[in-house]
A and B are shown apart, each in its own frame.
Chain A
């Protein structure tokens, strides 16, 4: 149980285009989903927290107009990188908290490798 999927697993896009990454909780309802960014050999950095039906909360230094987050349902959150540039190339990972789980545990997706050329 508690499986989180991401799609796509990797994507290459041209500079200036937008790319959408999906995060789904497959066997539970997620009240809260988190989006992280990870550069090679570095730690996970929280970008934003999204709650179903409300606006995402962005961490300091994360451009909300560039990284659009939509948590449209209890099982789906999307991250859209708008007008992507090479410096946006990174590993993007989502996680989700189970609505029915009183613990603090976050279940992580497998990540999406974004390369902007």
Chain B
């Protein structure tokens, strides 16, 4: 059972546009929601993360929006650049237990010049 659902599977955005990737979860015990960027043949790298006590977090061109009641969170990439072309994964974790990360299925982003 997929604990974190992610959409879309792929996304093509014009340079300068906004890329939006959405994730949803069911387990209300999750309290840490990171986003990772992965380039081909490389390990994932943490982009930005949020805790459920805030509804939005911004770091540079990257913003996470979090809707606790809807159990959804999204990544917005402003002014998308060709260098942002990569696969993006959302994930969720909880404080108790082994702190395992549950990953979404990934979104392949292509930013065209």
Contacts and interface: CB of A to CB of B under 8 A. Distances in A.
Q: Which of B43, B105, B106 has the most CB of A within 10 A?
A: B43
Interface string B64-104: 00000000000000000000000001000101001111011
B2 to A, nearest CB: 9
Nearest to B105: A43
19 contacts: A32-B98, A32-B99, A34-B100, A42-B106, A43-B89, A43-B105, A46-B101, A91-B41, A93-B43, A95-B43, A105-B34, A106-B99, A107-B46, A108-B44, A110-B42, A110-B43, A111-B41, A111-B43, A113-B41
Given A42-B106, A43-B106, A49-B98, A105 B49 contact: yes
Contact of A44 (B45, B89, B95, B98): B89
Nearest to A113: B41
B32 A104 contact: yes
Contacts, number: 54
Which interface class (under 10, 10 to 19, 20 to 34, 35 or more) fits A? Answer: 20 to 34
A24 interface: no
A57 B98 contact: yes
A2 to B, nearest CB: 9
A3 to B, nearest CB: 11
Interface residues of B, number: 22
Contacts of A45: 103
Interface of A: 4, 6, 32, 34, 41-46, 49, 57, 91, 93, 95, 97, 103-111, 113
A34 to B, nearest CB: 7
Nearest to B10: A41
B22 to A, nearest CB: 15
Contacts of B45: 108
Nearest to B45: A108
Contacts of A57: 98
A104 B43 contact: no
A57 B100 CA distance: 11
